[in-house]
Amino acid sequence: MKFAGRVWRLLVGLKDGLVLLFMLLFFTLLFAVLTARPSPAEVREGALVLELNGMIVEERTEIDPFAALLSQTAPVGEFEARELVRALDAAAGDERIEAVVLDLDSFLGGGQVHLQAVGEALDRVRAADKPVLAFATAYADDGVMLASHASEVWLDPLGGAMVAGPGGGRLYFGELLERLNVNARVYRVGTYKSAVEPYTRDSMSEPARENYAALYGALWEEWQAHVKKARPQADIAGITRDPVGWIEAAGGDLAQAALSAGLVDKLGSRQEFDARLVELVGEDEWSSELNAYPRTELDPWLEDNAIAETGSAIGVVTIAGEIVDGDAGPGTAGGTRIAELLDEALEADLAALVVRVDSPGGSVMASEEIRRAILRHKARDIPIAVSMANVAASGGYWVATPADRIFAEPETITGSIGIFAVIPTFEGLADEIGVSVDGVRTTPLSGQPDLVGGFTPEVDAILQASVADGYTDFLGRVAAARNLSIEEVDRIGQGRIWDGGAARQIGLVDQYGGLDTAVEWAAAQAGLGEGEWFIDYLGHEPGTYDTLLRQLLVEDGESERADVATLFSRQQEALGGRLVGDLERLLTTRGAQAYCLECPPGTQQGAAGDRELAGWLAKMVALFTH
């Protein structure tokens, strides 16, 4: 009996201990949830600090908690362009903010349209007689563009600045697939639909080279014009014409070279930069740190400046990232998810709808699902506007066809009106290793598609006909939407991509302007005056758990201070990410694609991966071990 009593007391003790442990975990989680959202009480008089340790994007990607915890890497920080603009505009008119700080030490970039929008907001801060100070250890193209809007650009003396311009190489697998006896069966329509070329060629075709040269040339001209306007003293032509001579003239000192070329104003350490801010906004009396100044971070500032919701609602639905079938996203445009958001909004009695697109396209079926959902709003006879961000190409243009008016920027990449499908078959490889396929067929389609034995001519013909029919549908939708003939759309289609300026000239775009311009036009079309409407971002509010994970993983993750060598190494990481993406498209099952693989990688949502190279290496391992 004594033994039984001891066992009983042990069990009771374990039970009490577990209860206590679960109670502690419960209250800890409850406290974390309640404090996950920033408090407006954190707003202080002094400087608004924008620590952009990540990328500027159209729509923040929702963190997968299991993937994030298992990967042991902090996801790349993401900052929505419209939130940065809203924060800066609020700072321009708020007397509590005396200066704005751009901390670009771990900045990973963003599309040109987003950078321009944030840069213009910085100009409005300066127009309100408030200084804007930027600091980094190294500036690349995107950092230079953003920092050019600052009144003082600081650079660490051990750092530097480089301007490379758009362009570069891509991987071609044609010879490798031939050596492996893998048959990449390509079905496409469009002279310029070069998305399939990596699987069939060893180099870029001349039509693709012509298209790339025109696109990159236009983007480069826009970048230079933008930077020169914001920072006239910058000698962009000199440093890009002879970069080696530019560096040698400064004795190999990259920081001095950047200063002499007018890319930066001052060389100084972080402590010296902070001391300058103390001169501007005063010393933080509540901090014991050296050169501490009163500061307000982005999140509490946004919380303190919430969007007022008075009057009629102008709905804004965001289509960001690759368009895929299903519920994926945010950050990826899951067709079913976006269609459901639009259908739920039918009950909200929107005065107008603005479709914000920042997507290179993707699944034809998902693009059509979104288009049909937009048409259900159009059937209610409300104004429909499309606002194009960095890229709205292929499927991204497909979803824009219901619009009454399409807005884009000169730097927007659009068009790519074409469809393709790529399916690998392994009959050659199977024959080489001694595997054969034999059987009985009752029709030419029996047992098809056969990835090991190969496709019959009938299957090839059916797949090509299906893609061609999809292209015909695409042409018809664009022709009806833009009041053009099928022949005219076919001439400007063929998979060719266009910059926003050229797209406006050929009739694919109606008007220059960003999201604000599109919303204001939609409100005016709905008969609403100033103060009579507000923006309702459909499905935009992030979940509490996502906010909490960002605090735990992103904000507590180590920020990588990038020197010039790091900027170059990131190009190799990006190359690895593109390699994985190309192989995924070849080896995973997909339907017909209206996708702009030709669009510059930097413009595509989700271009950022984990902070470590292991992020894309893990994806590659997973790809071959499924």
pLDDT at 604 over 60: no
Other beta carbons less than 10 A from residue 176's beta carbon: 12
What is the per-residue pLDDT for 592? 76
What is the per-residue pLDDT for 36? 47
- Which of 144-158, 207-221, 419-433 is predicted with the least confidence, judged by mean pLDDT? 419-433
Query: Which stretches does DSSP call E strand in 484-618?
Result: 497-499, 511-512, 533-537, 593-595
Say whether 169-230+421-492 and 40-167+232-304 share the same fold.
no
What is the per-residue pLDDT for 539? 85
Which residues form the catalytic set?
A: 193, 394
Give the model confidence (pLDDT) of 341-388 as tens digits. Answer: 999 999 888 999 999 999 999 999 999 999 999 999 999 999 999 999
What is the per-residue pLDDT for 307? 83
Looking at the chain, the whole-number percentage of residues with pLDDT higher than 90 is: 51
Domain 40-167+232-304 carries which CATH code?
3.90.226.10
What is the per-residue pLDDT for 38? 54
Instruction: Please give the average per-residue pLDDT across 558-569, as a whole number.
Output: 59
Other beta carbons less than 10 A from residue 347's beta carbon: 7
Mean pLDDT of the chain: 84
What is the per-residue pLDDT for 186? 83
Q: Of 551 and 341, which is predicted with more confidence? A: 341
Other beta carbons less than 10 A from residue 342's beta carbon: 24
Q: Of 497 and 9, which is predicted with more confidence? A: 497
pLDDT at 66 over 90: no
pLDDT band at residue 557 using 50, 70 and 90 as cut-offs: very low
Looking at the chain, the whole-number percentage of residues with pLDDT higher than 70 is: 78
What is the per-residue pLDDT for 31? 47
- CATH T-level topology, domain 169-230+421-492: peptide peptidase (sppa) fold (3.40.1750)
Interhelix angle 564-587/614-625, rounded to 10 degrees, is: 20
What is the per-residue pLDDT for 35? 47
Is residue 298 within a helix (H) or strand (E), and if so which, with residue range? helix 298-304
Contact in structure between 224 and 263 (CB atoms under 8 Å)? no
What CA–CA distance (Å, rounded) separates 229 from 227? 5
What is the per-residue pLDDT for 453? 86
- Which of 147-156, 158-167, 564-573 is predicted with the least confidence, judged by mean pLDDT? 564-573
Q: Of 76 and 573, which is predicted with more confidence? A: 76
Give the model confidence (pLDDT) of 102-134 as tens digits. Answer: 999 989 999 999 999 999 999 999 999 999 999
Domain residue spans of the chain: 40-167+232-304, 169-230+421-492
Instruction: Provide the β-strand partners of residue 188.
Output: 420
What CA–CA distance (Å, rounded) separates 501 from 509? 9
Instruction: Please give the average per-residue pLDDT across 604-619, as a whole number.
Output: 41
What is the per-residue pLDDT for 83? 95
Output the pTM of the full model. Answer: 0.84
pLDDT band at residue 624 using 50, 70 and 90 as cut-offs: very low
Give the model confidence (pLDDT) of 409-457 as tens digits. Answer: 999 999 989 888 888 888 888 888 888 888 888 888 888 888 888 888 8
Is residue 159 within a helix (H) or strand (E), and if so which, with residue range? strand 152-161
Instruction: Please give the average per-residue pLDDT across 50-62, as a whole number.
Output: 91
462: exposed, middle or buried (Cβ count in 10 Å: 0-12, 13-18, 19+): middle
pLDDT band at residue 613 using 50, 70 and 90 as cut-offs: very low
pLDDT band at residue 558 using 50, 70 and 90 as cut-offs: very low
Q: Tokens 């003082």 label which residue?
A: 152
Q: Of 618 and 500, which is predicted with more confidence? A: 500
